Every structure is written in structure tokens, then in C-alpha cells.
Structure 1
Amino acid sequence: MLQHNSAPVIAIVDDHPIVIEGLKNLLTSETEFEIVSFTTGNDFLNYLKTNEADVVLLDVVLPDINGLELCRELRKKYPEITVLAISNQAERSIIVQMLQNGASGYLLKNASADELLDGIEKGLRGEEALSHEVKAILSRPATNDWNGIPTLTKREKEILRLISEGLSSTDIADKLFLSQLTVETHRRNIIQKFQTTNMFSVIKLAIEHKII
């Protein structure tokens, strides 16, 4: 744990200004914490080069860095920082991956103010912090989260594999001699087939079920 002469520093990393404002208002009215906020993962990493933070409230979906990867990087470079995921992502695989990557807790954005404050206090004490709904999701058998493996076309599998390797739609379009629009259409179709809302979840499920 970092030692401060002043109040503990809580960093909020979320690309939605309204979420940041809501969290700031709650935390400043209820606590003695010093609050800093960032809308991208890179902004937060740059801040850490010359500043300290005790707790980071980290969104899983950011515009520049996958929150799962950022969590892993923080654990490696700044192990003294307590990482608490705060997200709308309620998929079991995402929650598990975030905790495996070193997060001390996972709270859904619909958690109550008391749950959030309790989670921060637990995180500062080195305890695991999970909101009630997250505990319920984790207590269910993993097989209940997903009904069957979707059938992908050869092209969809190819595109999914390249996405999982970190290629952008533009890179994939160039590599496969397709238009970017075609690649984006395939991406949307893949997400729809997996019955989820984002590509992070798709990749985790695809790896889990050995599709890629």
C-alpha cells in the first residue's frame, strides 16, 4: 500500500464523463479521498509516471486499451495499486478474467453507493470486493452462461482469429483483400452469433470453446 501524508488517492478510469461525475460526486460527499479521473487508459498510465494512486476504479471497455490488459499491466508495473473493475459487463468470463489479471474486485455500475464505498474500503484493506450481483453471477455454474457454440463460417473464423491477434479492421481488410465495411459487417455478425455485446467476450468464449 502506498503511504501518503494526505488522503488516499482514488483514480477513476472511464470513457463516460457522466459516470466519472457521478462517482466523483459520490466519493467527495462521502469520503476524504482525493479523486483524479481519466477517460483513457493511456492518460492514466502517463499520470502514474509521476504520481501515485491507491485505488483505481477501472472500466473494462475503454477507447484505447482493453481494460483486461490494462489491469494486467497495472499489476505488473504498480502492484501496490488496488484495481477495482467497475463495469456494465456482466459476463462471467469477463469477471473471471479480470480477477485472474489481478483485480481486487469487480462491481457492476448498477451497484449501490454503499456497495461501492464498501468495495473501496475492502480493496484498501487487501480484501476481495465483489458487488452482490457479481457474487451471484460467479456462484452460477459456468455452463449456464452460454447456450451452445455458434457456427461460424470459414471467413468469420479467419477474421475472429486475426481480431484475437490484435489486428484492427483496417489491418484485416488489407490482409484479406476485403473492404473495411465488409470486415465490420463480419465483426457485427460474429458478436450477434455469440449473443454478447462486445468482441472481448467473443474472444474469451471462442478461446474457452477452442473455436480459435
Structure 2
Amino acid sequence: MHKNNMNLAIVDDHPMVLEGLKSLLQQNEMFQIFSFTKGAAVLDFILENRIDVLLLDIVLKGGNGLDFCKIIKKQSPNTLILAVSNQAERSIILRFLENGGSGYILKNADAKEIMQCIQDAINGKLALCKDVQEIMAKPSLINYEIPRITKRELQILKAVSEGQTSAEIADKLFISVITVETHRRNLMQKFQAKNMIELVKIATDNKLI
């Protein structure tokens, strides 16, 4: 890798983020910088040009950064791809790294930390900003005993994951709305979930639904 003359590309559909990253990186003379608002534009660019380092947002209007990471690594295995994202969920970070990412930076990281992460990736290290390191260090629920749930609770969990309301679930299972709400509360307690979205995520992660 040509450390003195590296092509660095940024993909983000927020102009302010794009400009902020560009002005930060332009201070470093070893980078020639390219910026894109769509993942598809990078895919076209990489067919004709070398990209050494790619800073990729996860949530893009024209697609998903997790998918783009996988596709770009297939097209250009030597490109180092770092996520620069607001998505701080452990499962998303893991998926990005599994798809070939070399690092993960949260958008609240300061300039010094962003530069350090890029340098770490160039030096062949896994580049995680401090907050991401803390998220990854926390044990996931998979390390815990999975709570035992009844057949009825499983039915309700599945229905909730399909987006059904308490009234719709009550109709379907021939029980009262109050009973459904009680089951939902019990499930949240069992899984120590803050809300139903988190509950469904935990249940999915543990392959219960």
C-alpha cells in the first residue's frame, strides 16, 4: 500500500458530515480524497480506480452500508473499509466486521480519534473507536441463560415481531387485551428489555423467533 499517496473515499449522504470529514482529512497530505453520497457511485468508481481506505456510513438512502461493505470487499479485497456511523448496536458492528470491515467509528468520535482509527487500519489493526470498544467489551445476552418462556408467550412474541397490535393478538388468540399486555410485560421483564423493539431483537439474536 502506498502510504504517501493513498486514495481515501468517503460515502455519506449527509453533506455536513461529508464536508466535516473532508476538511479533517485534507490536513493529512498522504490522502487524495474522493467523496460520494451513494454507495452505488463508489461501486462504479472502484471498477476503474484504486481506493485504499473507504469511510462508509451504514444508513444510506440508496442502500445499506453493511451490504456495500461485502460487495466492495469482493470487488476490491485490498480496500480497508471503516464504518463511520451513528449505529451503536453490537449486532450491527459485528455484522459490519464479519462483512470484511476493518474498523468501526461512531460519529461522536473526535477528530484525533478518527485519525487514529484510520492509522490503525492502515497499520493492519482492527480500528474501533473508544465507545465501540466499550460496546464490544460488554457481554451480550447470548452469554446468559436464555429465559424459559411458555408456549403462549412464544405465540405473543412471534405476533409482536410481525408488528401485530395487542388488540389484533387478542383477537387471534381469543384472549383479552389485558392478558396480552400482561404477557408482554412479563416477557420484557424476563429478557430485561427496555421496550418491545429491544425484546424482539434479543429474541431474534437468540433464535427464539
**Residue 170 of structure 2 is aligned to residue 151 of structure 1:** no
In structure 1, the residue matched to 2:114 is 116
**Residue 196 of structure 2 is aligned to residue 193 of structure 1:** yes
TM-score normalised by L of structure 1:
0.71
Q: For residues 141 and 155 of structure 1, do their structure 2 counterparts lie closer, same or farther at Cα, with a shift above 3 Å needed?
A: closer
State the secondary structure of the residue aligned to 1:86.
strand
**Residue 80 of structure 2 is aligned to residue 82 of structure 1:** yes
Task: Read off the aligned partner of 2:12 and give its amino acid letter.
Answer: D
Deviation at 1:209, TM superposition (A): 2.8
Of 29-38 and 12-21, the range deviating more from structure 2 = 29-38
State the secondary structure of the residue aligned to 2:162.
helix
CA distance in 2, matches of 1:194, 1:143: 15
State the secondary structure of the residue aligned to 2:157.
coil
Percent of residue pairs identical: 43
| Residues 124-146 of structure 1: CA deviation (Å, up to 9, x unaligned) | 122111100000000001129xx
State the secondary structure of the residue aligned to 1:72.
helix
Q: Does structure 2 conserve the Cα–Cα contact (< 8 Å) formed by 1:41 and 1:65?
A: yes
| Residues 14-55 of structure 1: CA deviation (Å, up to 9, x unaligned) | 111110000001111244311101111101101111111100
**Larger Rg over CA atoms:** 2
CA distance in 2, matches of 1:155, 1:95: 22
5+ long unaligned stretches in structure 2:
148-153, 165-194
In structure 1, the residue matched to 2:92 is 94
Query: Cα RMSD (Å) of the superposition?
Result: 2.7
State the secondary structure of the residue aligned to 1:93.
helix
In structure 1, the residue matched to 2:23 is 25
5+ long unaligned stretches in structure 1:
159-191, 197-201
State the secondary structure of the residue aligned to 1:210.
coil
Aligned residues: 168
Task: Read off the aligned partner of 1:27 and give its amino acid letter.
Answer: L
Which structure exhibits the higher relative contact order, with contacts defined as CA atoms closer than 8 Å and separated by 6 or more residues? 1
In structure 1, the residue matched to 2:63 is 65
Deviation at 1:205, TM superposition (A): 5.3
In structure 1, the residue matched to 2:205 is 208
Q: Does structure 2 conserve the Cα–Cα contact (< 8 Å) formed by 1:93 and 1:205?
A: no
